[in-house]
Structure 1
């Protein structure tokens, strides 16, 4: 159970970053894999919480920049501007 968090994070980061580079499918749908709600199975709750804590410190959210370079930021460092 201790390895699930790191394995999920590595796979998720690789999926998001490779998808953005190759435009294979819509990026927002990738974030549906994140477990937001509490688990009904008590055994899985520490896994969900651990994944959440790891995602919060990872540069995972794609952001626009003034150059053509793809950049990623931590979830707590970004915002969304509406048109």
Structure 2
């Protein structure tokens, strides 16, 4: 989205159930179209104590492959 940051190739969402990470099955991603715009990930309500986002670089091992999370909101259902 700029000279040193790009959108990830993929985002996986998982929730901690107290024993292990479970993939969120119905996650949908609405990708940002410009720098500073939000990428929004939505999914049905889940129950757990932690949420994990795994972001896969579109350009691994390159400076332009850096990924950053600028803002994170997790509204409760």
Do the structures match in fold with TM over 0.5? no
- Give the structure with the higher percent strand: 2
- Give the structure with the higher percent helix: 1
**TM-score calculated relative to the size of structure 1:** 0.30
Which of the pair has the greater relative contact order for Cα pairs under 8 Å at 6+ separation? 2
**TM-score calculated relative to the size of structure 2:** 0.31
